[in-house]
């Protein structure tokens, strides 16, 4: 069964032997993913870090390792779930990043595969996977985040063009993007969810202004996008007119599958912290000798294992042919809070925790309980859809309802 192509279960795919696949990937990574490359890519947000990641992305694609779950015609290998798991395990063990367009590959491309015309699929999917085109996702607005259905960015049809005026915010990679999957209000008189259209927008179109937003970690991880009378051809529409909510639902549903492999990154972070905490510093001190630190490490270990077990239960269900349900939200909640406490535990490393990847982790992990569904909204979903508690008093269901889980970048 496929993890990411269209959010539905399909027949087992034809990769013959996941273990041979694993061995092949491990050997390939040992040859191709050098320490130099790893440290260049780790300089996130810098020009060289971005260039190194994009070059690595092209190497991955050219060798067929960018998205093994995808169909062969789009550059994948039609890999089944066990093989995809082997892929993620080996990539995480090597510390090798996946494609540059993380949101594009996990969310936007599957939506284009299911809603796009033949021409859109041919034009967009392979260059997105190779990282030749950078994509952003234009959902959030200053007054429409959790409640995505309230979006107001306006699109009026004028002949064969939409004329778009409005603002988007928190566009990951917005300052680099060549294209944006943009959600617009095409019918202001229809009920909120019935008047939205999805457009695939070339960011070089006149009338678009992008203003990078600098995060507290220092990088310009996302941007505000202002659109003023931007003419976008009707052929850029993804799916049907006024039916953008279906595309958004499909796009966000694709986040579910990704949730299941997030524990691999936690495991690697824990291993790195354990290695650093058991190293003797220049004063002969080892953080792990302190009993308080040992307790903290034990707590973090238990949390990471719990996320892993939750994820494996979901993966097991998927292997048995069931798509993950709202319990994906439990993993999102557990994963994001565990990542934050793990990042905070690095304080036991003293001054070392104030620089490099430890400092970056502490600052950037704050966003994980917001991106892809805030913890408050995720708790509502768990309360209502997993535990069957009464609904929160609200006029509109929150944005995360269709995804019931999340990944975001």
Ligand X SMILES: Cc1cc2nc3c(=O)[nH]c(=O)nc-3n(C[C@H](O)[C@H](O)[C@H](O)COP(=O)(O)OP(=O)(O)OC[C@H]3O[C@@H](n4cnc5c(N)ncnc54)[C@H](O)[C@@H]3O)c2cc1C
By CB under 6 A, tell whether 367 contacts ligand X.
Answer: yes
Binding mask 124-143 for ligand X (x = CB under 6 A): ------------xxxxx---
Size of the site for ligand X (CB under 6 A): 24
The pairing of strands 237-238 and 196-202 is: antiparallel
By CB under 6 A, tell whether 170 contacts ligand X.
Answer: yes
Q: How far is the CB of 71 from ligand X (least distance, A)?
A: 25
Residue 255 among the catalytic residues: yes
Of 141, 142, 69, 121, give the one whose Cα is nearest residue 99.
69
Q: How far is the CB of 140 from ligand X (least distance, A)?
A: 3
Q: How far is the CB of 171 from ligand X (least distance, A)?
A: 5
Q: Given the rule CB under 6 A, which of 39-47, 105-113, 316-324, 364-372 is the region that contacts ligand X?
A: 364-372
Q: Give dist(CA 335, CA 296) in Å, integer.
A: 17
Question: Phi, psi at residue 327, to the nearest 5°?
Answer: -65, -15
> Of residues 371, 403, 404, 407, which one binds ligand X by CB under 6 A?
371
By CB under 6 A, tell whether 407 contacts ligand X.
Answer: no
> What is 304-355 written as a DSSP string?
HHHHHHHHHHHHHHHHTT----TTHHHHHHHHHHHHHHHHHHGGGGGGGGGS
Please, which residues have CB within 8 angstroms of residue 334's CB and are 6 or more apart in sequence? 303, 306, 307, 310
> Of residues 112, 380, 381, 403, which one binds ligand X by CB under 6 A?
380
Lookup: tokens for 120? 């859109």
Q: Given the rule CB under 6 A, which of 34-42, 165-173, 229-237, 326-334 is the region that contacts ligand X?
A: 165-173
By CB under 6 A, tell whether 370 contacts ligand X.
Answer: yes
Question: CA angle, 16 as apex, 10 and 21 as ends, to 5°?
Answer: 105
- Complex with ligand X: residue 178 or 392, whichever CB lies closer: 392
Of 72, 321, 96, give the one whose Cα is nearest residue 87.
96
Q: In 3-state terms, what secondary structure has residue 135?
A: strand
By CB under 6 A, tell whether 254 contacts ligand X.
Answer: no
Candidates 90, 141, 224, 255; catalytic one? 255
Q: How far is the CB of 146 from ligand X (least distance, A)?
A: 3
Q: Give dist(CA 165, CA 155) in Å, integer.
A: 7
Q: Enumerate binding residues for ligand X (CB under 6 A).
A: 103, 136-140, 145-146, 170-172, 222, 367, 370-371, 374, 376-377, 380, 392, 394, 398-399, 408
Q: Annotated active-site positions, please?
A: 255
């Amino acid at each position: 069964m496929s993890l990411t192509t269209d959010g539905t279960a399909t027949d087992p795919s034809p990769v013959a032997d996941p273990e041979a696949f694993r061995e092949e990937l491990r050997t390939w990574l040992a040859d191709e993913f050098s320490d130099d490359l790893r440290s260049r890519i780790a300089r996130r947000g810098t020009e060289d870090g971005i260039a190194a990641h994009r070059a690595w992305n092209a190497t991955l694609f050219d060798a067929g390792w960018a998205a093994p779950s995808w169909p062969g015609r789009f550059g994948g290998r039609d890999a089944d779930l066990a093989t995809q798991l082997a892929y993620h395990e080996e990539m995480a063990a090597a510390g090798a990043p996946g494609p540059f367009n993380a949101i594009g590959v996990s969310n936007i491309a599957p939506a284009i595969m299911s809603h796009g015309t033949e021409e859109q699929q041919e034009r967009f999917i392979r260059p997105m996977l190779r990282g030749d085109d950078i994509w952003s996702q234009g959902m959030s607005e200053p007054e429409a985040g959790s409640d995505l259905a309230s979006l107001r960015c306006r699109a009026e049809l004028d002949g064969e063009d939409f004329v778009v005026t409005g603002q988007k915010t928190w566009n990951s990679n917005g300052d680099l993007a060549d294209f944006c999957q943009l959600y617009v209000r095409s019918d202001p008189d229809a009920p909120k969810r019935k008047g939205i259209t999805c457009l695939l927008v070339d960011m070089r179109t006149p009338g678009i202004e992008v203003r990078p937003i600098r995060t507290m970690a220092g990088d310009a991880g996302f941007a505000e996008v202002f659109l003023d009378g931007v003419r976008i051809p009707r052929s850029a529409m993804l799916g049907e007119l006024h039916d953008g909510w279906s595309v958004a639902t499909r796009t966000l549903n694709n986040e579910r599958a990704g949730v299941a492999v997030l524990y691999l990154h936690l495991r690697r972070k824990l291993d790195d912290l354990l290695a650093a905490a058991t190293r003797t510093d220049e004063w002969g001190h080892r953080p792990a000798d302190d009993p308080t630190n040992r307790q903290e490490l034990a707590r973090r270990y238990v949390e990471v294992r719990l996320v892993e077990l939750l994820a494996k239960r979901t993966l097991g269900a998927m292997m048995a042919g069931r798509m993950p349900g709202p319990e994906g939200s439990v993993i999102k909640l557990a994963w994001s809070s565990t990542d934050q406490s793990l990042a905070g535990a690095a304080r036991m490393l003293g001054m070392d925790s104030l620089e490099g990847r430890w400092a970056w982790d502490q600052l950037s992990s704050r966003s994980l309980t917001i991106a892809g569904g805030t913890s408050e909204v995720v708790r509502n979903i768990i309360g209502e859809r997993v535990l069957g508690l009464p609904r929160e008093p609200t006029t509109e269901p929150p944005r995360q309802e269709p995804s019931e889980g999340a990944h975001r970048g």
